[in-house]
């Protein structure tokens, strides 16, 4: 059996250890490890890449700590609008949804678009009707309520400002780009990627970021790599971030890590694009690159490497490395 790998992320930004309690840090790490376990358990049984990324992202969407699914932030009108996408590297099949409300797991809806429709991208009320016709679970508004998210929204709801999933307390100055995602190389060398987000606190006008856009926040191609992005969506859109990594691998012959570094540390920085991405290639190599102060991230390979990491400096990072049994 060839090497297989899963990597996940739970957002990036100004994430500092001094602003994190031990309990909250442990909870974030547990959330990432739960997502890794959800995807890895499928891979070790010979499961396929799309199903593994789907399971990992569903796990993150179900965790109220992350700005996706249950933990999604509030819009200007006090509602939740969620976006998600998924892509299969074997045949470039993809599914995406944007501005959906009350859908328990938007990534599951994106998967259904990919598998059960002739379309790629559905939005709003139409996407929700498609969800009902395909048996996707809905939840009441109360399911998506978080006191922390509500307090964030209350702090700015009377202004025209938006906030990128951060603690809106001036003295803390923490900024976190709230997105979750997963990338996988399965035992057959097939790739897949998925990304999900609750968007921006107090967002208006039906704003949509990079997460649900194929080639921007999510991309997978068996010829190159699988990528899931997290960051300030507008620069990522302008940079065509995920697809640019694939192009650098395919046309320039760069390694996965070289290509990701070029996009994240050079191209995005020129556009003031803060954030990062996770990626895998067909050999099971993984990279987790970011230009912010931190990124919730983790990986698990069939060779026995497992880690969950938060901060930029490895010395200061609480990390878990567990050998495969």
**Which whole number is the average pLDDT over 110-133?**
98
Could you tell me if residue 322 is inside a domain? Answer: no
Whole-number average pLDDT of the chain: 87
Higher pLDDT, 133 or 325: 133
Could you tell me if residue 209 is inside a domain? Answer: yes
**CA Rg value for the chain:** 18
Catalytic site positions: 179
Give Cβ neighbours of residue 160 (< 8 Å, ≥ 6 apart).
204
pLDDT for the residue numbered 158: 57
Say what the pTM is: 0.89
Residue 156 has pLDDT above 60, yes or no: no
pLDDT for the residue numbered 177: 63
Could you tell me if residue 324 is inside a domain? Answer: no
Contacts of 291-294 with CB under 8 Å at 24 or more apart are: 291/264, 291/265, 292/12, 292/13, 292/14, 292/15, 292/177, 292/231, 293/13, 293/14, 293/15, 293/16, 294/12, 294/13, 294/14, 294/15, 294/16
Q: Looking at 139-153, 182-196, 275-289, which range is the least confident one?
A: 139-153
Higher pLDDT, 174 or 233: 233
CB atoms within 10 A of CB 188: 14
Could you tell me if residue 126 is inside a domain? Answer: yes
CATH number, domain containing residue 265: 3.60.20.30
Rounded Cα–Cα distance for residues 317 and 25 (Å) = 10
Residue 131 has pLDDT above 90, yes or no: yes
Specify whether the CB–CB gap between 109 and 135 falls below 8 A.
Answer: no
Could you tell me if residue 321 is inside a domain? Answer: no
Query: Pairing mode, if any, of strands 121-123 and 93-100?
Result: parallel
Q: Tell me the three state secondary structure of residue 241.
A: helix
For the chain, the residue count is 325
Q: Looking at 3-17, 21-35, 91-105, 281-295, which range is the least confident one?
A: 3-17
Could you tell me if residue 325 is inside a domain? Answer: no
Q: Tell me the three state secondary structure of residue 22.
A: helix
pLDDT for the residue numbered 196: 97
Residue 225 has pLDDT above 80, yes or no: yes
Q: Looking at 4-13, 187-196, 200-209, which range is the least confident one?
A: 200-209
Domain coverage including residue 76: 5-316
Could you tell me if residue 323 is inside a domain? Answer: no
Could you tell me if residue 245 is inside a domain? Answer: yes
Residue 120 has pLDDT above 70, yes or no: yes
Number of domains present in the structure of the chain:
1
């Amino acid at each position: 059996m060839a090497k297989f790998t899963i990597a996940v992320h739970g957002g990036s930004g100004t994430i500092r250890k001094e602003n994190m309690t031990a309990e909250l840090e442990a909870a974030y790490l547990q959330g990432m490890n739960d997502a890794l376990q959800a995807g890895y358990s499928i891979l070790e049984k010979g499961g396929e890449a799309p199903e593994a990324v789907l399971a990992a992202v569903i796990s993150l969407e179900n965790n109220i700590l992350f700005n996706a699914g249950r933990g999604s932030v509030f819009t200007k009108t006090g509602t939740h609008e969620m976006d998600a996408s998924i892509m299969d590297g074997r045949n470039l099949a993809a599914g995406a949804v944007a501005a959906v409300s009350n859908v328990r797991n938007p990534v599951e809806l994106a998967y259904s678009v990919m598998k059960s429709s002739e379309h790629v991208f559905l939005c709003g009320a139409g996407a929700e009707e498609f969800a009902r016709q395909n048996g996707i679970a809905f939840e009441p508004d109360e399911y998506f309520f978080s006191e922390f998210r509500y307090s964030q929204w209350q702090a700015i709801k009377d202004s025209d400002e938006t906030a990128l999933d951060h603690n809106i307390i001036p003295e803390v100055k923490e900024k976190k780009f709230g997105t979750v995602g997963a990338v996988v190389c399965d035992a057959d060398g097939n790739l897949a990627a998925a990304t999900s987000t609750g968007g921006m606190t107090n967002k208006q006008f039906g704003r949509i970021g990079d997460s649900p856009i194929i080639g921007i926040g999510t991309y997978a191609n068996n010829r190159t790599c699988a990528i899931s992005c997290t960051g300030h969506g507008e620069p990522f859109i302008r940079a065509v971030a995920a697809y640019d990594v694939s192009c650098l691998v395919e046309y320039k012959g760069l390694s996965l890590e070289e290509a990701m570094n070029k996009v994240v540390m050079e191209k995005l920085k020129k556009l003031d694009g803060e954030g990062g991405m996770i990626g895998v290639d067909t050999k099971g190599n993984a990279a987790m690159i970011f230009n912010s102060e931190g990124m919730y991230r983790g990986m698990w390979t069939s060779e026995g490497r497992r880690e969950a990491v938060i901060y930029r400096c490895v010395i200061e990072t609480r990390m878990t490395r567990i050998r495969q049994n």
